[in-house]
Amino acid sequence: MTASGWSANQFSSLLGAYRTDLGLTTATTTALFAVYVLGLIPGLLLGGPLADRRGRRPVVFTALAVSVLATCLLMAGPAATWALWPGRFLTGLGAGALLTAGSVWIKELSTPPYGTAATPGAAARRAGLFLSAGFASGGLAAALIAQWAPHPMITAYLPHLALAATAARFAAHAPETSPVRIAAAAAAAARVGGEAAPVHPTTEAAPAHLIGDSAAARTATTSEPASAPAPGGSSAGGSSPATAFRRLVVPVAPWVFAAPTIAFATLPSLVDAHLDGWQTVYAGVATAVTPGAGLLVAPLARRLAARHRIATAAAGLAAIALGLLVAALAVAHTQPAVALAAAALLGAGYGLCVAYGLTEVAALAPAHRLARLTARFWALCYLGFITPYAITLLTHTFPPPAILIGAAALAVLTLATVTYRGTRSSL
């Protein structure tokens, strides 16, 4: 998950370098940024069902290999600009499959019989934290390398290759957790041995060193309910999981990445007019500040989720609306420092909204459909990656501050809608 976040964001901080060194236009670089989503959506929608049918491990390792190939194509960009397009597309394809299978794998490895996470929601939020760590570090590392290292648009991508190799090595030791694959393995063992102990489709005997201590071992035989209660102790008012997902998760999901992409793909180019020679470093700092703030609000997300199922979403959307208003102020007065404050607010909103979404999905989905619903959530989230390109197109008609204020109004409207629906479902 960290490698996935790193691969997605290493390109973001180099947008300015591509404009100045390769002569690409702003429209071209933002289009390259958005092409990521064209690969990501099929990766998400195919990766989820495949992870449920074939297992978490093969999907994760295939996606990691695709991600490495994508980075190699991006490294060829300075010599062959056309390679940037398939590079970005494959980056999205690999990240999409890795997000769905990886999110579920982490969630299942975190709960008994493999781990000791207290609740499915807490386990699900870990995936968002690892993703945010990759987002925060990938962009900053690429920017610092691009600022001082030779051949910046090649060497800036080398850390991701090393990270992906390290990730593959560690993940190779993690057990398969797919209920379908575990049941198939048990059936195969029964056919070969003539008889075998029954294995519940949602559990598997785990090595003692993975279970941890005796308390965890005592819970290893307890299978998790197919549909856990919603966070905060409230249900969806008797509605089906699909209805609850559509009413309470779908409106929030696009903001998960609309907010941070505005912060690190749109704002830097609008406020860096007086940062001669330091635009790339500034962009890297913005890409670190944004998801870094998302990491810092993780404890707050847990406390809010305990109070009410939509409290985390409400706080996240409020932070995004405020961040967009501060961003409009920064752009109107060309203030890079104020833009970083806006990036922090937008990053906090991202962190709260992604924690809310993953917690809701873990609560709503039965075990055999968890990867599918997780894939749908991430697909909706990554629609937000198109936002910088949409803003670039709108700047031909409206001034950037007005566009950002309009986006803030949309965030407030989403906040009102989700708050009303969430309150009604708890009655």
Q: Is the distance from CB of 157 to CB of 69 less than 8 angstroms?
A: no
Q: Cα separation of 56 and 48, whole Å? A: 9
Average pLDDT score over residue span 272-293? 85
Is the overall model pTM greater than 0.85, yes or no?
no
Give me the mean pLDDT over the 162-185 stretch.
84
Going from the C-alpha of 16 to that of each of 34, 74, 132, 290, 335, the distances in angstroms are 15, 15, 22, 18, 18
Residue 356 has pLDDT above 70, yes or no: yes
The more confident residue out of 199 and 126 is 126
- 239 pLDDT higher than 70: no
Tell whether the model's pLDDT for residue 280 goes beyond 60: yes
Alpha-carbon Rg of the chain, whole angstroms? 22
Average pLDDT over residues 307-327: 94
- At 74-99, the pLDDT tens digits run 999 999 999 999 999 999 999 889 88
Give me the pLDDT at residue 111, please: 81
Q: What is the mean pLDDT of the chain?
A: 82
Percent with pLDDT over 90 in the chain:
38
Confidence of residue 207 (pLDDT cuts 50, 70, 90): very low
**Does residue 192 have a pLDDT over 90?**
no
CA–CA distance from 336 to each of 8, 339, 404 (Å)?
Answer: 24, 5, 16
Question: What local confidence, expressed as pLDDT, does residue 249 receive?
Answer: 93
pLDDT digits (tens, 9 = 90+) for 93-136: 998 898 888 888 888 888 888 887 767 667 767 887 888 888 88
* 374-391 mean pLDDT: 87
Higher pLDDT: 207 or 135? It is 135
How far is it, in rounded angstroms, from Cα 80 to Cα 67? 19
Mean per-residue pLDDT, 270-297: 86
pLDDT at 272 over 60: yes
The yes-or-no verdict on residue 215 having pLDDT over 50 is no
C-alpha 22 chain-centroid distance:
29
User: For residues 332 and 310, what is the distance between their CA atoms, to the nearest angstrom?
Assistant: 33
**How far is it, in rounded angstroms, from Cα 287 to Cα 344?**
10
Flag whether pLDDT at 212 surpasses 50: no
3-state SS record for the chain? CHHHHHHHHCCHHHHHHHHHHCCCCHHHHHHHHHHHHHHHHHHHHHHHHHHHHHCHHHHHHHHHHHHHHHHHHHHCCCCCHHHHHHHHHHHHHHHHHHHHHHHHHHHHHHCCCCCCCCCHHHHHHHHHHHHHHHHHHHHHHHHHHHHHCCCHHHHCCHHHHHHHHHHHHHHCCCCCCCHHHHHHHHHHHHHHHCCCCCCCCCCCCCCHHHHCCHHHHHHCCCCCCCCCCCHHHCCCCCCCHHHHHHHHHCCCCCHHHHHHHHHHHHHHHHHCCCCCCCHHHHHHHHHHHHHHHHHHCHHHHHHHHHHCCCHHHHHHHHHHHHHHHHHHHHHHHCCHHHHHHHHHHHHHHHHHHHHHHHHHHHHHCCHHHHHHHHHHHHHHHHHHHHHHHHHHHHCCCCCHHHHHHHHHHHHHHHHHHHHHHHHHHHC
| CA separation for the pair 300, 307 (Å, rounded) | 11
User: If you average pLDDT over residues 364-383, what whole number do you get?
Assistant: 82
Residue tagged 């109004």 (tokens): 409
Q: Which two tokens stand for residue 188?
A: 């195969």
